[in-house]
A and B are shown apart, each in its own frame.
Chain A
Amino acid sequence: MGNMSTHSINNQNKLIQFLFGTWERTQLSISAGLLLLMVFSPLVIKSPYYIGVITLACLYAFIGISWNIISGFCGQLLIAHIIFIGLGGYTTIVLLNNYGISPWIGIPIGGFVSGIAGVVVALITVRYGLKLDYFALFTIALLVALRTLFLKWEFVGGAVGMYLRQETPSLNRMIFISKLPYLYIACSLLLFGIIIQYLTYKSKFGKYFIAIREDETAAAALGVNLTKYKTLAVMIGTALAGLGGGFYIIYVTYIDPTGIFNLGFNAEMVMASPIIGGLGSLVGPILGALVNKPIAEIIRANLAEARSGITMIVYGIFLISAVLFLPRGLAGLIQTLYYRWFHGITSTHQEGE
């Protein structure tokens, strides 16, 4: 009997080793698990409202990843990241409404446009040596400038904004009756984001991003071209944000300058998820989004009837407590537990690595 059970225990150990052998692997496994949970959630959750919340949580996770690459990996405080979501969104909807170009093409073009805009912003800020808080302020100023520009720009709808024309549902125009296709598109986006983030993290430029975050001066001494790699980080992150923005507009069917070029919404959509989940970690944006979006939604659903503004106050308190009590985010908490317990058990299997 010993033989059989040793064999199965061995297999089990191998599986555990494969999934949780290193902290990196563990983060990937958790990410994949959460993604699968979202993909299969319609089996249990039938209400379109909740499916909608999950879809947006999934999108927030994707957008969180895009910001995580810039601010988490590379340490560039691109506060007003929502600029690039807005640009991607506007590109997609202008292409669809004015030129009849399908969102399946329009969303990637939105990503491309945002990526280019990101490169321009990065080059300008690096050229004039804007770092940290000055860089952050520059992006906020840009947000305000763009909001004013879009308010006056009639071609993109001015202050009224742009609506998705409600037409008969069609795959080509990415209009569906059921909520499920949107969920699956969001999940595919997130899968794409997880893969890009992981490849970035493992590559030469990912290592360079982290080196820049930790110490620019020392990184330069080791041959890191600061301009090139900061720009690259911003380009990857903003291009992903553009994709997310394109899908967001198709999903909510509406965009207007005050709604999208908005710092409050920026905090909820872009910054909250990676910060709650753990900025700079691989799994943080996903963990964070799954906490952030439902809580934001619950607060809105239950308190919207009360005094106006109370939802923002409660949500703000929630964000402040998250930062105070989990400075390294949920991922930091899990990492500590991982090293304390799980790694203690498997460390004997680790020698070979």
Chain B
Amino acid sequence: MALLEVNNITKSFGGLCALRDFSIEVEKGEIVALIGPNGAGKTTAFNVISGYYHPDSGKVIFNQKDISNLRPDQICSFGLARTFQIARPFQGISVLDNIMVGAYAHTNNNKVAYENAMGILHFLKMDGIKDQMASRLPIASRKRLEIARALATEPSMILLDEAMAGLRPSETDEAIEIVRKISEKGIAVLLVEHVMKVVMSLAERVLVLHHGELIATGKPEDIVKNPQVIEAYLGESNVTS
């Protein structure tokens, strides 16, 4: 059994069908990338999986449990965490407190939550900024805080929604390293990404969405040669460069 199974999800908003008959599977510890042009339905897929939208039809199975109609907080407590495309830190509190909110997902004890949060801070090399107000963080740290909070909930799978958009190349490299380390811990990663460098270097499998439908799946090196994908998303220049 795969860790996450999305079976034939359809989701419409009024007359617009954002996802049509969408199915994916993610195994334990796997890194899978979801790519596609703007408006392809990637974020909708994330929102359906993480409980922010309920599917019109189809099922989301996580860890052999049907989570299609659960609330986001319930899904989080089952071990499926997510980040947001636009980082949403809790502005008015410190980085440490932000992470502690995540760490309370599986404990009521202040000390345990504190120690878990400190562990995450250390794991992501954020020790130096733990007392800073989240509102003062630059974009790269915000994105990292987003990942840190999600990790603090002790997930077995994490959904990363463009965790590397807007980063400088050196920061992107660091972020890639982080995702790799997360995966080494046995946490499955499903990422939405536009930066092809990230997709190519991380993903074991790539899924391509276009107009709410999967048009291709496969290894990254095969995907970039797929004519349908090139036409829909990548464009010639991106592949050759």
A208–B101 CB distance below 8 A? yes
Contacts A218-B89, A220-B72, A223-B102 known; 6 new A-B pairs at CB < 8 A: A210-B92, A210-B93, A211-B101, A215-B90, A221-B81, A222-B73
Q: How far is the CB of B131 from chain A (nearest CB, A)?
A: 9
* A204 contacts chain B at the CB level, 8 A cutoff: yes
* Partner pick for A204 among B71, B72, B90, B104, CB 8 A cutoff: B104
Give the interface size class of chain A: 20 to 34
Residue of B84, B90, B107, B113 near A211 (CB, 8 A) is B90
Write out, one digit per residue, whether chain B residues 96-114 have a CB within 8 A of any chain A CB (1) or not (0). 0100111011011010010
Does B92 lie within 8 Å of A222, measured CB to CB? no
In the complex formed, the residue of A with least CB distance to B154 is A223
Nearest first, the 10 closest Cβ-Cβ pairs linking A and B are A223-B105, A214-B90, A223-B76, A220-B72, A218-B88, A211-B101, A222-B102, A204-B104, A225-B73, A223-B73
In the bound complex, how far is the Cα of B184 from the Cα of A260, in angstroms?
62
Q: Which residues of B contact A213 (CB under 8 A)?
A: 92
The CA-CA distance from A218 to B105 in the complex, in Å, is: 13
Q: Is B91 an interface residue (CB 8 A)?
A: yes
Bound together, the chains give a CA A38 to CA B16 distance in angstroms of: 64
> How far apart sit A217 and B146, CA to CA, in the bound complex (Å)?
13
Size category of the B interface is 20 to 34
Distance between Cα atoms of A202 and B114 in the complex (Å) = 12
Complex: A210 Cα to B133 Cα, angstroms: 14
CA distance A208 to B107 in the complex (A): 13
Any chain B CB within 8 A of the CB of A319? no
Query: Which residues of A lie under 8 Å from residue B228 when comparing CB positions?
Result: none
Least CB separation from B135: chain A residue = A214
Distance of B91 from chain A, by nearest CB (Å): 6
Contact with B along A256-300 (1 / 0, CB 8 A): 000000000000000000000000100000000000000000000
Contact A222 B88 (CB under 8 A): no
Q: How far is the CA of A221 from the CA of B72 in the complex (A)?
A: 6
Which of B97, B100, B101, B110 is close to A224, meaning CB atoms less than 8 Å apart?
A: B101
